[in-house]
Amino acid sequence: MPSDERLPTNDLLLTDKFGRSIHDLRISITDRCNYRCVYCRTGTNGAAFAELPFEDYLRMARILVSMGITKVRLTGGEPLLRKGIVQFIRDLSKLRTVKGEKPAIALTTNGHLLAEIAQSLKDAGLDRVTVSMDAVDPDRFARITRVPNGYDSVLAGVRASRRAGLDPVKVNCVLLRGFNEDQIIPFGVFSREEGVVVRFIEFMPLEEDRVWTPQTVVTLDEVVARMSEYLPLTEIAREHSETARRYRFPDGIGEIGIIAPVSHPFCGHCSRIRITSDGKLRTCLFSAWDHDLYELMRRGASDEKLAEFIVKVVEKKEERHHIGEPGFVPASRTMVHIGG
């Protein structure tokens, strides 16, 4: 179907009560991770929640794609720890959106196992990859991830992804004050040298050990100011529901994004819904509870019943997060168990 005008009217197209259209799905396929990043997993050591067979995620994705989802991102935990991810992407890429198109398929990974699988993922239908790196210095990288010699593997993964034609390759860096904000300029250089989009993310209170304070957040304004000691940044246009503000350097080489949920919240145009590894729907990273889609499936609900359930859940999507406000209630799960 070539144009929006010819879309069928569909009562089940996902819109929340604030009029936000929901078209972005994130599926966490495991909450296991082979890294133990100090700001993320300072407490428990492994999985806390179950994993479902891929066919269950596929059914959920199929129903959601029929309800207006156009982009599916796989995350975790570390999604590349799941055997069978290539076939899962192949199956996802056969789904068709309400416009009759293949959904965009993206992956967020720590990149440790990416080099050997990047081409297969691309061939299976993966469109984009985001690799998390919080330093571009091998020693610092090892101290953050608490895994020796990871940096070279991740760099190889970034390069293999580019060679495989995954485009763009994005690198996400969470900044914490007094910890890695000295990496801002090195990441600017990295973006230009490696041909990747580097995106700095403000640290959110979603960690296991509750170390977050407003003072730990390195804000968007600070990133822009620090980067201009190297080269000035100019903001460029972005899509409405895009979470990152985008910046270019004067010569157009490299690109920087800044995701600023704390200093510049973007909840008003949030288009996301999440499925956790154990099949719960979450309407916000900061939700105080989740909604058990899997339990309904397990009890034999039809696709129609599941779709009705999803509509009701989406209606309840939170208006915004309350980070930094008095009385802030922490999310019912930490980042690694939701899927970032």
> Which one, 68 or 157, has the nearer CB to ligand SAM?
157
Going edge to edge, which strands form the sheet with 128-132? 234-236, 244-248, 255-259, 197-202, 169-175, 128-132, 104-109, 71-75, 24-28, 272-275, 280-282, 291-292
As measured in angstroms, the least distance from the Cβ of 1 to ligand SAM is 33
CB of 122 to ligand SAM, least distance (A): 18
- Degrees, nearest 5: CA angle 90-244-129: 25
CB of 134 to ligand SAM, least distance (A): 6
**Residue in 164, 148, 77 with CA at minimum distance from that of residue 116:** 164
Question: C-beta of 283: minimal distance to ligand SAM in Å?
Answer: 18
The distance of closest approach from Cβ of residue 26 to ligand SAM in the complex, given in angstroms and rounded to an integer, is 10
- The residue among 113 and 233 lying less far from ligand SAM, judged by its C-beta, is 113
Q: Please give the DSSP secondary-structure letter assigned to residue 5.
A: G
- Which of 130, 283 has the CB closer to ligand SAM? 130
Q: Provide the 10 A C-beta neighbour count for residue 168.
A: 15
Contacts of residue 11, Cβ cutoff 8 Å, sequence gap at least 6: none
Do 39 and 179 touch, CB atoms closer than 8 A?
yes
**In the complex, minimum distance from the CB of residue 176 to ligand SAM, in angstroms, rounded to a whole number:** 9
Q: Which residue has 């760099």 as its token pair?
A: 155
Half-sphere exposure of 103 (CA within 13 A, CB side): 32
| Residues making contact with ligand SAM (CB under 6 A) | 33, 40, 75-76, 78, 108-110, 132, 172, 174, 201, 203-204, 206-207, 335-336, 340
- Residue sitting closest to ligand SAM (CB): 340
Residue among 94 and 146 whose Cβ is closer to ligand SAM: 146
| CA distances to 34, 53, 95, 99 from 5, in Å | 46, 37, 22, 10
Q: Is the Cβ of residue 26 or residue 63 nearer to ligand SAM in the bound state?
A: 26
Closer by beta carbon to ligand SAM, 110 or else 219: 110
Q: Give the residue with the Cβ less far from ligand SAM, 78 or 222.
A: 78
The one-letter amino acid code at 152 reads D
Minimal distance, residue 309 CB to ligand SAM, in Å: 26
